[in-house]
Amino acid sequence: MARKAPASRPIRSRAAPGSLAKARPPLRTVGSYWPYATTLFDYVRRAMPITNPLSLSDDEVYAVSAYVLFPNGIVGEDAVMNAQTLPQVKMPNRDGFVSDWPPRARN
């Protein structure tokens, strides 16, 4: 069962695109801190609720993910989040990440 993003007022973690690079200190928000919506899903799954981590069902994790993404302007109010739609969400700073890993040697 898929969940829709609930109507809500914007949360404080909302910031304009580019706020990570332009603001001093950089504003770490949902849109700038995670390159993929699936990373948000994983974080919610592992960390919430704080008093009982790993206790949410898949539907509840999708609902929380939609709740966080909607007020940040990343998905629409009527967005349906599930295993098929969440990986399709394009995070605003997806292309702003660079790898810390050294290049792999090719044989």
Task: Give the separation between CA 37 and CA 87, rounded to whole angstroms.
Answer: 6
pLDDT for the residue numbered 25: 76
Q: Where do the domains of the chain lie, and which CATH numbers do they carry?
A: 28-94 (1.10.760.10)
Task: Give the separation between CA 56 and CA 52, rounded to whole angstroms.
Answer: 9
Lowest mean pLDDT of 29-38, 50-59, 95-104, name the range: 95-104
pLDDT for the residue numbered 91: 92
pLDDT for the residue numbered 16: 55
**Cα distances (angstroms) measured from residue 90 to each of 47, 54, 55, 101, 105:** 23, 25, 27, 23, 31
What would the DSSP string read from start to end of 17-72?
A: TTHHHHSSS----HHHH-SBHHHHHHHHHHH-STTSTT-S-HHHHHHHHHHHHTTT
